[in-house]
Amino acid sequence: MSIKAANLRAITDRYFGAAARRAAAFLDNASPSRLARALESHLLHQPSARSIAVRDDVDCLLRYYSVLELAWLTNAIDSWPEDTAAVARHLKEPFVRRYYERYYPLLLPQLLRHRLEGSGVSGNGDHTDAFLRLVDLDELRDREETPMFLWFLDDGTEVWDDEEYGLTDALKIIVDGDRFVKRLTLKESDQTPADRAVRGFINFLAFSRELEALLDRLSSDPIVQSAFWHHHGYWYQQLGGQVLGVMTAGIEAFRGHVSASVNAEIESQTSKDMMQETDLFTESAIEATHRDMNHAVRVLQRLTSSVYRFALESYLYGERAALEWEDLKAVVQRRVSPVYKDDSPFVDEHETEEETQPESKEEEYEV
């Protein structure tokens, strides 16, 4: 088996799991009226519990199709799954298209549909290593409490001890430095869904830093760089605006607790007669933590801005017929400011930047 064939098999094993297979079967067998109801916007019609299960499965299927597009774009694969006709059929289905093009816009499934119709976009060279790193980051994003944070970010709620929790409850913890520190020390059995979402937010920050580091490696290929961003772009679009402001305020609120937490950690591990020798170390640790926090804010600002999304959107929405590779690269370079390499405080009047669902489906749904 060739390396690219092995990559395709690994992608299928990783992303075409039970949920994606259920979605594929549903799309193949559901009536048009059933599809229309299940894939309606939640802003227009409150979905039933059964429809939410369907939509979560369809999201998994679309994620699989997005990864197939990324794999082909980066030259990680050179062949398609056996039932390629089913992939094309699903992506062309009118109510499915309405779902991923209009209600919850996802560019990568659109690009895969274009590719299967004979008009796919091309990257600049082989980026297999970067693609495999992106797959690793998918696992980082999906770990521990991060899905709870993303569920809240997507207007989801969770009931615990007869109380309903959502994004507002998590944000109230994030912006209250004292409460933030206290809630992080709770044992697991005492954690509310909001507490778990806050922990998920911390994990999501770590994931975001790794993602931006990967995007920085792809700066010479804006199409591939933009495609990688769009693989997770839905969440950064949800995170933008007022929510981003609240989370940034939360990071700043925690800044005042850094000194106390660093000192407490050092005191717990250092004898009294050695404490005087640790002052310089303490100061360095505090400064390093503050730089880390500044960098976290920078990362969120860039990932929620148009810096990475622009290239692919330009290609897909009206300019692809007119722009050849060099033209598009030149446009991107004019629009995108250089990546910030320093860790200076995020508020600087001399700097300018562009402005910047739980998985529980044991129960089968009906067609």
In one letter, which amino acid is 169?
D
For 274, the token pair is 């050695």
In the predicted model, is pLDDT for residue 265 greater than 60?
no
Per-residue confidence (pLDDT) for residue 244, from 0 to 100:
81
Q: Please answer whether residues 46 and 37 qualify as being in contact, where contact means their C-beta atoms are separated by less than 8 angstroms.
A: no
How sure is the predictor about 318, in pLDDT bands with cuts at 50, 70 and 90? low
How sure is the predictor about 169, in pLDDT bands with cuts at 50, 70 and 90? very high
Q: pLDDT tens digits for 1-39?
A: 899 999 999 999 999 999 999 999 999 999 999 999 999
In the predicted model, is pLDDT for residue 228 greater than 90?
yes
Helices 49-73 & 84-92, crossing angle to 10 degrees? 120
For 250, the token pair is 């939360």
Instruction: Of 7, 9, 22, give the one whose Cα is nearest residue 57.
Output: 22
Share of the chain above pLDDT 90, in %: 53
Please report, in angstroms and rounded to a whole number, the separation of the first and last CA atoms in the chain. 38
Q: pLDDT tens digits for 137-158?
A: 999 898 878 999 999 988 889 9
Per-residue confidence (pLDDT) for residue 335, from 0 to 100:
44
Say how far apart CA 42 and CA 36 lie, in whole Å: 12
Q: Please answer whether residues 124 and 220 qualify as being in contact, where contact means their C-beta atoms are separated by less than 8 angstroms.
A: yes
Q: Which residue has the higher pLDDT, 329 or 10?
A: 10
Distances (CA, A) of 77 to 12, 13, 62, 131, 217: 12, 14, 18, 10, 21
Q: Which residue has the higher pLDDT, 208 or 322?
A: 208
**Which of 102-106, 211-215, 255-259, 268-272 has the lowest average pLDDT?**
268-272
Say how far apart CA 105 and CA 352 lie, in whole Å: 28
Per-residue confidence (pLDDT) for residue 243, from 0 to 100:
78
pTM of the shown model? 0.78
Q: Please answer whether residues 97 and 91 qualify as being in contact, where contact means their C-beta atoms are separated by less than 8 angstroms.
A: yes
In the predicted model, is pLDDT for residue 349 greater than 50?
no
Q: pLDDT tens digits for 182-213?
A: 888 899 999 999 999 999 988 999 999 999 99
Q: Compute how many other C-beta atoms are within 10 angstroms of the C-beta atom of residue 339.
A: 12
Q: pLDDT tens digits for 72-111?
A: 999 999 999 999 999 999 999 999 999 999 999 899 999 9
Q: Please answer whether residues 206 and 218 qualify as being in contact, where contact means their C-beta atoms are separated by less than 8 angstroms.
A: no
* SS (HEC) of the chain: CCHHHHHHHHHHHHHCCHHHHHHHHHHHHCCHHHHHHHCCCCCCCCCCHHHHHHHHHHHHHHHHHHHHHHHHHCCCCCCCCCCHHHHHHHHHCHHHHHHHHHHCCCHHHHHHHHHHCCCCCCCCCCCHHHHHHHHHHHHHHCCCCHHHHHHHHCCCCEEECCEEECHHHHHHHHCCHHHHHHHHCCCHHHCCHHHHHHHHHHHHHHHHHHHHHHHHHCCCCHHHHHHHHHHHHHHHHHHCCHHHHHHHHHHHHHHCCHHHHHHHHHHHHCCHHHHHHHHHHHHHHHHHHHHHHHHHHHHHHHHCCCCCCHHHHHHHHHHCCCCCHHHHHHHHHHHCCCCCCCCCCCCCCCCCCCCCCCCCCCCCCCC
**Which of 143-157, 264-278, 297-311, 350-364 has the lowest average pLDDT?**
350-364
Average pLDDT score over the chain: 81
**Which of 15-24, 64-73, 291-300 has the lowest average pLDDT?**
291-300
Of the spans 95-99, 117-121, 176-180, 187-191, which averages the highest pLDDT?
A: 95-99
Contacts of 180 (CB under 8 A, 6+ apart): 173, 174, 198, 250, 253, 254, 257
How sure is the predictor about 278, in pLDDT bands with cuts at 50, 70 and 90? very low
